[in-house]
A and B are shown apart, each in its own frame.
Chain A
Amino acid sequence: MKFLIKTNSLTHCYRSGTKDEVKALDNVSMEIHQGEILAITGQNGSGKSTLARHFNALLLPSKGEVSVKGLSTSNKQNIPLIRKIIGMVFQNPDNQLVTSLVEEDIAFGPENLGLPQPEIIERVNWALHTMGLQELRRENPHSLSEGQKQKVAIAGVLAMKPECIILDEPTAHLDPRGRREVLESILQLNREENITIVLLTHFMNEVIHCDRMLVMDNGSIKIAGSPCDLFQNGENLKKSGLELPVASKIAEGLRQEGFNIKPNIINMEDLVESICQLK
């Protein structure tokens, strides 16, 4: 499998050289594979955002190296190309939408790339269509629900045709319906457009849809693996301030009661199936 992003002994210090120096990342080495959905979890302040902002050169390593398709982010000349390959969506949609009209906002990225007018129009239409936002194209983002705003933000990144989208807690401020809609769009982008997804989140019911997960704690990667494997060992996750998905909790409880529940259960469907086999 090909690596899209690779970090090598990445260390990052904020306010470096002053007495308030804070080491936010400590010797992190990891890879992101082309086409995968990777979840990065961990408590607030564990370093997830700092790590993610190295992937598109918003932050540069204090030590170590980050490369995107072999291009090092430390080389200034690579940055425009890296930002074209890697798109980023942030937590608060209100702080990332630039204009007062949905379609104009989606055009903002392609306009920055200096694309010819017909291509901008085509890309905006495509992004609106892919995210199911056609009806909202003439709206002011201010009048949309938080979930819709976040979808506009994703469409704005999508219109730049990135190979990978990083989403930094995109659902943290959404209601359950907005959360589900945004998650579904993200999964669909991975499935249908083959876009690599890096999802930073606290919600375990989002992590269970991912191929792989990393747990960050105190600036380094504590645990890495598939959600199925990691949710078998709840204690490790709890130490990093995380909780198990509901299905894993119930499965674990039933096992302790002596019932024969299949291992590796992380979602409700599998749990129901496994309980039915006990009938």
Chain B
Amino acid sequence: MPIEVIDLNHSFKEGTPFEKQVLFDISLSIAEGEFVGIIGPTRAGKTTLAQHFNALHIPHKGKVLVDGWDTSNKKTDLMTIRHRVGYVFQNPEYQLFAPTVGADIAFGPGNQQLSREEIDKRVREAMALVGLDYNIFYDRDIFALSGGQKRRAAIAGVLACKPKVLVLDDITAGLDPRGREEILAVIQNLHNSQNITIVFISNSMDEVATVAQRIIVINNGKIFMDGSTREVFSRFNELRSIGLELPEVTVFIDKLKDAGFNLPDGILSVNEALLSITATLREMEGSR
């Protein structure tokens, strides 16, 4: 199991008058090759939970195991864990610091004491994966990139560390529709062709619905739901009760059902909606 969380509890500002518990008794496991979406209201604890996966937070109570390594065990080398689990932050382009694209992407592997050839190989691979041409962009000034390109460069910087698991923390926020589409295509390709396990935190239900296979819903620091994407989004009343919005398509199908159409549960994409509405309408025409 790449990631296993057992009875995890976590508090902020422990030992001060501002102490606040943010995670309560969380247990979950993520299997190799999964594409897991994490959703939940703002400040529900999604980021805090995910930062336990690569030992940016160490559990105060409970355990987190990465490939069997206990992150709270003093003997565990946290660097090994961080190489296995990559983490891309929200607005990752704000964290770029090297003058050129190539130098920034090489930073992670450079910290792993690899040979120069190996580092260069990894930079090439990572750039190819995010769709930045090595010959054009390697020496490109970071400031000369567009917002979407900067974000892809930042993702490449994490990929160059060759993680087995990739945590993506709200990485499409603020992009325009085209930029968002490009990033999502990159992520899906990583999952399909590289077999990287993906943990995808997002505020956009439409996005999660189209990419994730499994969804974990966090509310007030607890696991509220954990199931397949279809299953989770067919329980819309519960999702609405904690203030989450549903994918637009799902809302629409629900309205049609209320109007007396017989449609299946858990429709998530425009194409699925079209297929099932067409089928239902044809059936009605036929029986008339």
User: Which residues of A line the B interface, CB within 8 A?
Assistant: 43-45, 91, 145-147, 169, 172-178, 180, 202, 205, 241-243, 246-247, 249-250, 253-254, 257, 259, 268-269, 271-272, 275-276, 278-279
Contacts and interface: CB of A to CB of B under 8 A. Distances in A.
Given A44-B148, A176-B205, A253-B274, A202 B255 contact: no
Interface in B142-162: 146-148
A176 B270 contact: no
Nearest to A174: B203
Dominant secondary structure of chain B at its interface with chain A: helix
A68 to B, nearest CB: 28
The 10 A-B residue pairs with the shortest CB-CB distance in the complex, in nearest-first order: A176-B245, A175-B203, A241-B178, A253-B274, A246-B248, A43-B176, A243-B177, A172-B174, A272-B255, A202-B176
Nearest to A246: B248
Given A44-B148, A246-B252, A275 B270 contact: no
A268 B203 contact: no
Contacts of B284: 278-279
B147 A44 contact: yes
Interface string B122-133: 000000000000
Interface string B238-269: 00000111001101100110011100000000
A254 B173 CA distance: 31
Nearest to A201: B176
B273 interface: yes
B277 A254 contact: yes
Nearest to A41: B176
B204 to A, nearest CB: 7
B179 interface: yes
Contacts of A175: 41-42, 203
Interface of B: 41-43, 146-148, 173-179, 203-205, 243-245, 248-249, 251-252, 255-256, 259-261, 270, 273-274, 277-278, 281, 284
Contacts of A146: 42
A250 B176 contact: no
B173 A172 contact: yes
Contacts of A241: 176-178
B259 A276 contact: yes
B248 A259 contact: no
Contacts of A247: 252
Contacts of A177: 41-42, 243-245
A176 B176 contact: no
Given A173-B174, A175-B41, A176-B204, 17 more contacts: A43-B178, A44-B146, A44-B175, A44-B176, A172-B173, A177-B41, A246-B248, A246-B252, A250-B252, A250-B277, A254-B278, A254-B281, A268-B255, A272-B255, A272-B259, A275-B277, A279-B284
A173 B252 contact: no
Interface centre among B244, B277, B284 (most CB of A within 10 A): B277
A202 B179 CA distance: 11
B270 A253 contact: yes
Contacts of A44: 146-148, 175-176, 179
